[in-house]
Amino acid sequence: MRLSELSVGQQVAAGTLRVDRARLVRYADASGDQNPIHQDEAAALAVGLPGVIAHGMWTMGAAVGVVVDWVGDPGLVVDYRTRFTRPVPVPADETVEVNVVATVGALDRQAGTARIDLEVTLDGARVLGRSQALVRL
Amino acid sequence: MAVDPSFVGRAYPPDEPYEVTRAEIAAFAEAVGATHPAHTDPQAARALGHPDVVAPPTWAVVVAQRSEAKHVQDPAAGVDFTRVVHADEGFAYTRPIHAGDRLVTTLHVDTVVERAGLGMVTTRVEVADEHGAPVATVTSTLAVRP
């Protein structure tokens, strides 16, 4: 992939993330984030949530995979940030699908970087805001 | 209890070095559905010029969160975890993180502000190698309901 082959607004990748409660338990173990609202219905309801929700960091971590696969080397993602705008509820015994579309947001030819903007949606509503990965090309 | 703005500017002492393993990078990659071979196959990683398998771009949250716990778990900071929503997160890398790295984290409290009735606490974790060379900066904002 070369910077000169990219233009702002161009879609470079897309994908579907799939998450169920078993995956949230594995993410909790792998990340160390054992907040019970991501595993236990009663704990989630007790703090006013509609039920178990995915870790925002799970969604952030999963979404950037489409960028890594596109750019071909995880080490080329030099900056990645997002806001968390909506929770991703994960009902028991269901697999929830989150959609990701990655487009070129900006190009910096001097720095040799492309800002890839991620649109991450659940049922058409954005769950991440200003989700941007900077890749070195 | 409200968040305490007097914590702004505080830098905590550096944490003990954390040794990154292939197994935990693989487990993290699996959990987030990251299938790039450089996360799990040392030969694939070396073919790209890395010394060992490469952590996924958000893996640094593992060491950052351990460091942030010192602030979050300090009762005086007023960050009640049952009233917290994660507002934003950011990772800036000087270089990628690899298995075998021994990382030293240092926690800073950058801002504590009230906005729309919420206490917004932004922390920054500087991640360095054991010789002090910078590796990454992880920023995180928590919104705390009163």
Range of the domain at B18: 5-144
- Which value does ipTM take for this structure? 0.97
Domains defined for chain A, CATH in brackets: 3-20+54-136 (3.10.129.10)
Cα(B21)–Cα(B5) distance, integer angstroms: 37
Total beta-carbon pairs less than 8 A apart between chain A and chain B: 115
- How would you write the pLDDT of chain A (137 residues) with one tens digit per residue? 789 999 999 999 999 999 999 999 999 999 999 999 999 999 999 988 999 999 999 999 999 999 999 999 999 999 999 999 999 999 999 999 999 999 999 999 999 999 999 999 999 999 999 999 999 99
pLDDT digits (tens, 9 = 90+) for B66-78: 999 888 888 888 8
**Which chain B residues are within 8 Å of A40, Cβ to Cβ?**
none
For chain B, the first-to-last Cα distance in angstroms comes to: 7
Residues of A with CB under 8 A from a CB of B: 17-18, 23, 26-27, 29-33, 35, 47, 56-58, 60-62, 64-65, 68-69, 72-75, 77-84, 133
The two tokens of residue A135 are 């890749």
3-state secondary structure of A51: coil
